[in-house]
Amino acid sequence: MALPTPDGVWGKYLFPQVEKNGSIANTIKALGAARDSGMMVIFVNIAWRPGFPELPADTCGLLKEAKEKNECLVGSWGAEVIEELTPRENEIIVTNFGSDGFEGTDLDLILRTNRITDLYVAGQCIEHVVETTVKRAVNMGYTATVLKDCTSGFTDQNYDAMLEILPLYSGLITADEFVAGP
């Protein structure tokens, strides 16, 4: 999952939590360990085509802001992985159009083709994108583990609430625990 910058469409909401949780530094650490161990790395970034044909005319407030500002278009800066996490040549970028990394994407096909059943999830918007993707993954038969310090939410309260709810669906570990050996 992608991480926001303060200038991104949702950065003003998410970046205070990103800084507080050290999400970027922790994700860099976990990403390095995943790469070193030979794990498949997949980035799931939200983006839309010009004109937002993937969104209903009366979409939810969270996505409405991107539509109104014409942001997060495929190929634009707002839909790219942040520089600190630049994907390597062989790493996959999946484009999703909403809160679920599986719905309308080829993520499940890629995972099943490569016989991957255990997912380690890092990303932002824990109460929207991370939680929805993790629940879908578990319902599809995957085992999911969220790297809790590689994610954040819109508020401390939302983040803390999700850390209480997510263990019903997934494991929760830190980047250091991941580095020590998933």
**Can you give the pTM of this predicted structure?**
0.90
Residue 3 inside a domain? The answer is no
| Element at 87 (helix H, strand E) | none
Residue 2 inside a domain? The answer is no
| Element at 132 (helix H, strand E) | helix 131-139
Residue 5 inside a domain? The answer is no
Q: What is the pLDDT, as a whole number, of residue 9?
A: 60
* CATH classification of the domain holding 76: 3.40.50.850
Residue 4 inside a domain? The answer is no
Query: What pLDDT digit, counting tens, does each position of 102-157 carry?
Result: 999 999 999 999 999 999 999 988 888 999 999 999 999 999 999 999 998 888 89
Residue 127 inside a domain? The answer is yes
Query: What pLDDT digit, counting tens, does each position of 56-112 carry?
Result: 888 887 788 888 888 888 988 888 888 889 999 999 999 999 889 999 999 999 999
Identify the burial level of 28 via C-beta atoms within 10 angstroms of its C-beta, where 0-12 means exposed, 13-18 middle and 19 or more buried.
middle
Name the residue range of residue 152's domain.
11-180
Say how many domains are in the chain.
1
